[in-house]
Chain A
């Protein structure tokens, strides 16, 4: 008892971990199943887009599949479809665990999940049919956006409900990030929609608002959710507390303050007053503080436990995520400098960086969450360790190939663009082999996702008690309970 800070709230006993997980089973599984569906759709749209860039006649001549439509569908399904549902499921389960309460309003949340999916579907079809709003990252037509916002309001309500009825007396660092996400995201979407698609702001001011939003979806939604996941999963899996809790405070607040301002680095060199760009560069460079802080915390916590990477799937994905977070963030901070941007702005480098961050940091931490939680939610075991390993190596290798190819191509592309003696079509020809590499990287990532899909489909099937040695239900008490159940089943069969 002395080792824990689990002080019972005088109003009631802490809800046991098993009860928390069981209350979450349907809600979180539905959100995560949705995220897997959208990941597949997003990857498919991404593969088509990638192919069209080096082979423009691939599936050509069809208006609804033209590059200018399938490409925004790719990133909208990736961010909102995959990112939105994966982060929501993570937020709900993690908050329930840390508050030691059951998930409230499950039916409302499930309804919300369905509405959200319908919204992403309608939005995507709308864009393919030519109804894009024309604003990057906010292409979904206005009739689809409320279907994305309303379910999120349900999640915010559930989140605050869990938080204000929590049994645990301490607010763990992950919970600060989760609370931040629930406050930031609705404000972001409403302010962004108002200034772009609802016309409150025009011209270049709209561009600033546009990219304030675009970058903050990454920085104030995807990133904090993934960091919250890492702060929980890494210590929980290895059985060691976070290295320095003081540092995590610094990391949280410096993140909150600086990330907000980084967005205008998408507009460097553009028709804007210098202060807007400078503010973006300063915000981006100051990000070194939270990134180093969080990096120290995660990596120092892992010291002495790296051998566990061999034996834990969750840890592999989580550590990959936290390491790439450090690398991709350093890359991004440097990328924002005007001298760097003179070469890499407008090139494939930007795309390389985005995918490095999203598929090297955000997606792996979401996968880590799912690998950890699904057995506890369903009471089932993952069917195949080999499929998990395939998923991991495909994610790692595919992301490395993608980022490497695109960043290198981008640098050369930018250098050539800055040399007016080089005809533009020569630059296009130069990038083609790298664009092929990107398609191959995408196929590798896709294969990994299929491996995960197979495991996922199997784990959500109704229970059949089958075990030789328990793996995740690994306390003695659980094991004895299962042995008892098994002997009961055997007794009934006779």
Chain B
């Protein structure tokens, strides 16, 4: 009686051992030797996250941006990612070697962000968009991240630690409640820096199509 059950258990175990091997262990081995490439100016691509960008990545994760945005460009001819200027080439494994954890995403309620930094380099645009998406993108269903900013009315003093250069003016027709200016707080600044740094346009040899 029990030997039959051991047979059953062994069979069951083998089915999952096979897929753990195939889908967890083997891909890990296949990619663990991937290295960044050296650029002409001596720097490398990709670069590990550090400082403000690393902190901003943490904000991206704790705000759950992944649930509406992807960070992967599909190849030319499969979907319209490149024709929409979301990227200049498809994404490849080397783009993600420093991503801990990956933020590839599975939903495009909003556009892809793999190279948002090259598409929208302006910190002012990001600040306005995050504070109130309706300012830059009317009709958007993205939530407001107003808590990443300090709101200022005319005549308000700068918050402690902020510089005049940090201040973002809200365009007059889109001001509400007398709020005319914004200053991103620490987390807001970090997130903006992270987004501005997202750029997967560097041409990689394996991505040539």
Q: A204-B27, A279-B22, A346-B106 are in contact. Are A60 and B15 (CB under 8 A)?
A: no
Contact of B97 among A136, A183, A203, A216 (CB under 8 A): A203
Determine whether B104 belongs to the interface, using a CB cutoff of 8 Å to chain A.
yes
Q: A203-B97, A279-B22 are in contact. Are A342 and B61 (CB under 8 A)?
A: no
- Count, chain B residues at interface, CB 8 A: 73
Contact of A270 among B23, B91, B143 (CB under 8 A): B91
Which residues on A sit within 8 Å (CB–CB) of B91?
A: 270-271
Contact of B15 among A203, A260, A264, A428 (CB under 8 A): A260
A273–B27 alpha-carbon span in the complex (Å): 9
**CB–CB A257/B15 < 8 A:** yes
Contact of A56 among B20, B105, B140 (CB under 8 A): B140
> Nearest-CB distance from A182 to chain B (Å)?
9
**CB–CB B84/A163 < 8 A:** no
> Nearest-CB distance from B17 to chain A (Å)?
8
A-binding segment of B73-81, B120-128, B154-162, B167-175:
B73-81
Given A202-B102, A257-B15, A425-B138; 4 other pairs, CB 8 A cutoff: A136-B106, A184-B12, A204-B93, A345-B79
Which residues on B sit within 8 Å (CB–CB) of A62?
A: 147
Which residues on B sit within 8 Å (CB–CB) of A210?
A: 101-102
A138–B2 alpha-carbon span in the complex (Å): 36
**CB–CB B144/A164 < 8 A:** no
Determine whether B163 belongs to the interface, using a CB cutoff of 8 Å to chain A.
no
Find residues 324-374 in chain A having any chain B CB closer than 8 Å to their own CB.
Answer: 338, 342, 345-347, 350-351
Find residues 70-104 in chain A having any chain B CB closer than 8 Å to their own CB.
Answer: 71-72
**CB–CB B27/A428 < 8 A:** no
> Nearest-CB distance from A43 to chain B (Å)?
18
Determine whether A212 belongs to the interface, using a CB cutoff of 8 Å to chain B.
yes
Contact of B102 among A66, A67, A171, A203 (CB under 8 A): A203
A176–B103 alpha-carbon span in the complex (Å): 37
A428–B32 alpha-carbon span in the complex (Å): 39
Determine whether B38 belongs to the interface, using a CB cutoff of 8 Å to chain A.
no
**CB–CB B96/A203 < 8 A:** yes
**CB–CB A256/B98 < 8 A:** no
**CB–CB B64/A417 < 8 A:** no
**CB–CB B19/A212 < 8 A:** yes
Which residues on A sit within 8 Å (CB–CB) of B106?
A: 136, 266, 345-346, 350
Q: Please give me the residue from chain A that is nearest to B70 by CB atom.
A: A346
Q: A66-B63, A271-B72, A417-B79 are in contact. Are A261 and B23 (CB under 8 A)?
A: yes
Which residues on A sit within 8 Å (CB–CB) of B15?
A: 256-257, 260
Which 8 pairs, one residue from A and one from B, show the smallest C-beta to C-beta distance? A68-B64, A260-B19, A134-B61, A346-B108, A130-B62, A271-B91, A205-B27, A420-B83
Determine whether B49 belongs to the interface, using a CB cutoff of 8 Å to chain A.
no
Which residues on B sit within 8 Å (CB–CB) of A256?
A: 11-12, 15
Determine whether A153 belongs to the interface, using a CB cutoff of 8 Å to chain B.
no
Determine whether A54 belongs to the interface, using a CB cutoff of 8 Å to chain B.
yes
**CB–CB A171/B144 < 8 A:** no
**CB–CB B12/A180 < 8 A:** yes
Determine whether A187 belongs to the interface, using a CB cutoff of 8 Å to chain B.
yes
A133–B63 alpha-carbon span in the complex (Å): 11
**CB–CB A131/B62 < 8 A:** yes
Determine whether B31 belongs to the interface, using a CB cutoff of 8 Å to chain A.
yes
**CB–CB B2/A164 < 8 A:** yes
A205–B65 alpha-carbon span in the complex (Å): 21
**CB–CB A419/B145 < 8 A:** no
Determine whether A454 belongs to the interface, using a CB cutoff of 8 Å to chain B.
no
Question: What are 15 pairs between A and B in contact, CB < 8 Å?
Answer: A72-B67, A130-B62, A176-B8, A191-B24, A199-B100, A202-B102, A203-B98, A205-B27, A212-B20, A253-B11, A264-B23, A271-B95, A417-B80, A425-B138, A432-B141
